[in-house]
C-alpha cells in the first residue's frame, strides 16, 4: 500500500541500517516493482498475492536477518502499524501447524510489537487488540496480555483525568468484553466472570443516562456473562443474565427486525443455560424459537446485515438442538 516516494524512503533507510548496500537505480527499481505488484493506482505498490505466498516470502527473508528481522518489523510498525499487525497475525495463524520453526518468527515479532505498545504506545495496543481474532489458540496469550494492559492503562488515564468519563466507560466496557473472552479462552474462568461483570455493570450504568444507544451493548454483555457463569457452574445466576439478554433483544427486535439474528444467538445461549438448570422443556422451546427464525431467514422472509458468520453458527446450533 506504500506509494513510491514512501517506498523509496523506506528502502533507502532499511538498506543503510542493515548494511545491504544501495540500489543503483531506485526509481527504475520501483517502476519494475510496481509493474510486478500493481496497486490501486499507478503510484501505489500492491501486495504479493495470494497472501500466504507473500507471508512465506517475507517470513523467510526476515528470518535470515536474525535479530535484525525483528528490528525491521518494529520500524515498519511505526510506519504502518495496522498493516504490520495484520500481517503478523495472519502469518502466525497460517503457519501455526507447520512442522518447522516458521511460526516462531511471526510470533516473536508480534511479541516485540506488543512489548513496544505496552511500554509507551497505547494506540499501538489498541491496534493489536482490534486486529486479534476472536478465537485463535496460538494467539490467546497475546490477546490476554494486550487487553489486560489496555485495561490498566485506561484506568490510569481516567484517574489522571486525561480521558472523559463517558469516553472511558464506552471504551473500557468494550475492552472488558474482549478481555473476558481472552481470559475464558485461557481457562481463567473465575477471572473471566469478574471481568464480564465489570463490562455489564458499566454498560448498565450508561443505559441509566441514555438508554437507547447502549441497550444492545448491555444485552451483549449480559449474554457474555451468562456464558462465563456457566463455565463456573453458577447456573441460576447465568439464567438470570441470559433471560435479561433475551428480553432486551426482544425489545430491540420488535423495533428493528435487523436484531432478530442476534436474538437467535441469545436464545441459543438461553437454551444451553436452561439445560444446565434441568429445564429441558423450556430449553427446547427457546431453541425451537431460534430454529423457527432460521427457517424464516432461509426462506428469505427476513434478510438482515446482522447475520454474521458467528451468529450463523449459533443459528445452526439452535437448529440442531431444537430438532
The pLDDT tens digits for 35-51 are 888 887 777 888 888 88
3-state SS string for 81-108: HHHHHHHHHHHHHHCCCCCCCCCHHHHH
Q: How far is CA 206 from CA 146, 151, 202, 218, 295, in A?
A: 25, 18, 6, 9, 35
pLDDT of residue 96: 64
| pTM confidence score | 0.67
Name the residue with higher pLDDT: 146 or 156: 146
The mean pLDDT value for 139-150 works out to 85
**Between residues 69 and 97, the one the model is more confident about:** 69
What's the residue count for the chain?
Answer: 323
Q: Is the Cβ–Cβ distance between 23 and 29 less than 8 Å?
A: yes
Quick one: what percent of the chain has pLDDT higher than 70? Answer: 86
Residue 158 has pLDDT above 90, yes or no: no
- Is residue 126 within 8 Å of residue 136, measured between CB atoms? no
DSSP string spanning 224-262? HHHHHHHHTT-HHHHHHHHHHHHHHHHHHHHH-GGGHHH
When the pLDDT of each residue in the chain is averaged and rounded to a whole number, the result is 82
Distances (CA, A) of 239 to 191, 222, 283: 19, 10, 11
> What gap in Å lies between CA 138 and CA 93, rounded to an integer?
7
- Non-local (6+) Cβ contacts of 263 within 8 A are 246, 249, 250, 252, 253, 290, 293
pLDDT at 103: 54
Q: Could you read off the pLDDT of 197-209 as tens digits, one per residue?
A: 999 998 998 888 8
Cα 102 to Cα 96: distance, rounded to the nearest angstrom: 8
Amino acid at each position: 500500500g506504500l506509494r513510491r516516494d514512501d517506498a523509496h524512503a523506506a528502502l533507502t533507510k532499511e538498506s543503510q541500517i542493515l548494511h545491504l548496500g544501495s540500489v543503483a537505480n531506485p526509481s527504475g527499481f520501483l517502476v519494475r516493482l510496481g509493474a510486478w505488484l500493481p496497486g490501486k493506482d499507478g503510484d501505489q505498490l500492491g501486495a504479493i498475492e495470494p497472501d500466504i505466498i507473500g507471508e512465506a516470502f517475507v517470513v523467510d527473508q526476515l528470518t535470515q536477518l536474525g535479530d535484525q528481522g525483528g528490528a525491521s518489523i518494529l520500524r515498519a510498525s511505526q510506519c504502518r502499524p495496522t498493516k504490520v499487525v495484520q500481517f503478523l497475525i495472519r502469518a502466525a495463524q497460517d503457519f501455526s501447524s507447520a512442522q518447522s520453526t516458521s511460526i516462531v518468527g511471526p510470533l516473536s515479532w508480534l511479541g516485540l510489537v506488543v512489548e513496544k505498545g505496552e511500554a509507551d504506545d497505547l494506540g499501538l495496543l489498541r491496534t493489536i487488540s482490534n486486529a486479534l481474532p476472536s478465537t485463535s489458540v496460538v494467539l490467546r496469550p497475546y490477546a490476554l496480555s494486550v487487553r489486560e494492559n489496555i485495561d490498566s492503562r485506561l484506568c490510569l488515564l481516567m484517574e489522571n483525568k486525561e480521558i472523559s468519563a463517558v469516553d472511558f466507560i464506552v471504551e473500557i466496557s468494550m475492552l472488558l468484553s474482549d478481555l473476558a473472552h481472552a481470559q475464558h479462552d485461557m481457562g481463567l474462568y473465575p477471572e473471566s466472570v469478574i471481568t464480564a461483570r465489570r463490562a455489564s455493570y458499566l454498560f448498565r450504568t450508561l443505559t441509566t443516562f441514555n438508554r437507547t444507544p447502549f441497550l444492545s451493548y448491555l444485552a451483549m454483555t449480559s449474554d457474555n456473562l451468562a456464558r462465563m457463569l456457566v463455565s463456573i457452574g453458577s447456573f441460576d445466576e447465568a439464567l438470570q443474565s441470559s433471560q435479561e439478554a433475551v428480553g432486551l433483544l426482544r425489545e430491540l427486535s420488535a423495533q428493528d427486525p435487523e436484531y432478530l439474528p442476534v436474538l437467535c444467538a441469545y436464545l441459543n445461549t438461553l437454551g444451553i443455560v436452561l439445560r444446565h438448570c434441568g429445564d429441558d422443556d423450556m430449553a427446547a422451546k427457546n431453541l425451537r424459537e431460534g430454529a423457527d427464525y432460521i427457517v424464516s431467514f432461509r426462506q428469505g422472509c427476513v434478510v438482515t446485515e446482522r447475520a454474521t458468520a458467528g451468529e450463523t453458527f449459533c443459528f445452526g446450533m439452535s437448529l440442531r438442538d431444537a430438532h
